[in-house]
């Protein structure tokens, strides 16, 4: 079973359940997909970790957790505090490194499924050292015709890191394209519009990036510019549930996106 959902302040709305695949309606809350993909190199992390994409302000996220406004991505139950994940380092856009410790939450037994989840701020992707704004900029540049060497010089990141992003994304591009096309279809249908007609970009990576862009445009049309008070890269991170460049094998699953105001 698969459930795609979105909560603007921790709210929730079941919209899609699949065994084959059956598309649901948008109902009260809007749907966004979780994408998972092929194995590969990444920073150290628990391979079975379940991520929940949240806002960037830890104080706001903590208060939402205390107030019972964060929901389980598997069953929709109310999450409770459950300690912290191991500390990790993040390489910020400017090039410096900072240490972060991510909150964990659990869906208690009795009223929930008993699974725990890592609360991942929307500026991060699962199992990635760098902020999503850098990664997304490199992906867009590559789709625009840049070679990987030029992207390395621009991003000021190790060549192996940049090539790893590009290889991982290209390897899962068809799945990513399909997932974001499904979301665009749902959002456009809810607004009474049609999907954008995309011109083939000449490669699977370019086609997937173009499809993500079309999906972001549909979201903007459906919800207005307030969605993009944060960067488009962070919106992509949220829509992918943090697993845009994940290491998991192909597995369609469910995710409630619980974010603070706007996203």
pLDDT band at 8 (very low <50, low <70, confident <90, very high): very low
Is the pLDDT score of 212 beyond 90?
yes
pLDDT of residue 186: 85
Q: Kindly give, in sequence order, each residue whose CB lies less than 8 Å from that of residue 251, ignoring residues fewer than 6 positions away.
A: 36
Q: What is the mean pLDDT of residues 183-210?
A: 86
DSSP 127: T
Determine the distance from the C-alpha atom of residue 138 to the mean position of all C-alpha atoms in its chain, rounded to a whole number: 17
Over residues 50-68, mean pLDDT: 91
Assign 74 a pLDDT band (cuts: 50, 70, 90): confident
Average pLDDT rounded to a whole number, residues 24-42 = 33
How far apart CA 26 and CA 16 sit, in angstroms, is: 9
Does residue 29 register a pLDDT over 50? no
Query: pLDDT at position 49, please?
Result: 58
State the average pLDDT over residues 196-211: 89
Phi-psi region of 34 (alpha: psi -120 to 50; beta: other; left: phi over 0): beta
Maximal CA-CA distance, the chain: 54
pLDDT of residue 241: 82
Q: Is the distance from CB of 45 to CB of 38 less than 8 angstroms?
A: no
Stronger pLDDT, 83 or 24, i.e. the higher one: 83
Q: Which residue has the higher pLDDT, 5 or 247?
A: 247
Pick the closest to residue 200 from 208, 192, 190 (CA basis). 208
- Residue-wise pLDDT for 190-202, tens only, equals 877 788 888 788 8
> What's the rounded Cα separation, in Å, for the pair 237 and 70?
18
Give the Å distances, CA to CA, from 83 to 24, 60, 80, 93, 101.
Answer: 35, 17, 10, 28, 10
Please report the pLDDT score of residue 226 as a whole number. 61
Concatenated DSSP letters for 22-43? B-----SS-------------S
For residues 49 and 189, the model is more confident at 189
Task: Name the average pLDDT for the chain.
Answer: 76
The domains of the chain are located at 4-258
Residue 248: count other Cβ atoms within 10 Å of its Cβ. 17
For residue 138, give the nearest of 128, 125, 129, 148 by alpha carbon.
148
Find the mean pLDDT for residues 154-169.
96
For residue 95, what pLDDT band results from cuts at 50, 70 and 90? confident
Cβ atoms of 204 and 168 closer than 8 Å: no
Task: Say how many CA atoms lie within 13 Å of 155 toward its Cβ.
Answer: 31
Q: Is pLDDT at 260 greater than 70 in this prediction? A: no
């Amino acid at each position: 079973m698969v459930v795609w959902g979105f909560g603007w302040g921790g709210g929730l709305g079941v919209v899609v359940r699949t065994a084959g695949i059956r598309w649901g309606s948008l109902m009260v809350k809007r749907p966004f997909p979780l994408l998972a993909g092929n194995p590969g190199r990444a920073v150290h992390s628990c391979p079975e970790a379940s991520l929940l994409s949240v806002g960037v302000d830890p104080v706001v996220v903590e208060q939402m957790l205390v107030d019972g406004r964060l929901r389980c991505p598997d069953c929709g139950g109310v999450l409770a505090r459950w300690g912290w994940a191991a500390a990790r380092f993040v390489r910020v856009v400017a090039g410096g490194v900072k240490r972060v410790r991510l909150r964990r939450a659990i869906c208690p037994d009795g009223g929930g499924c008993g699974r725990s989840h890592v609360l991942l701020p929307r500026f991060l992707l699962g199992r990635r050292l760098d902020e999503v704004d850098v990664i997304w900029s490199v992906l867009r540049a590559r789709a625009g015709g840049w070679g990987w060497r030029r992207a390395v010089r621009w991003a000021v990141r190790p060549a192996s890191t940049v090539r790893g992003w590009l290889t991982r994304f290209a390897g899962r591009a068809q799945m990513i394209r399909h997932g974001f096309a499904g979301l665009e279809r749902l959002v456009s249908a809810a607004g009474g519009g049609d999907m954008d007609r995309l011109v083939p970009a000449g490669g699977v990576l370019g086609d997937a990036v173009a499809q993500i862009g079309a999906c972001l445009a549909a979201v903007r049309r459906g919800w207005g510019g307030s969605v993009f008070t944060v960067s488009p890269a962070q919106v992509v991170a949220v829509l992918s549930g943090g697993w845009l460049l994940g290491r998991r094998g192909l597995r369609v699953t469910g995710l409630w996106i619980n974010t603070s105001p706007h996203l």
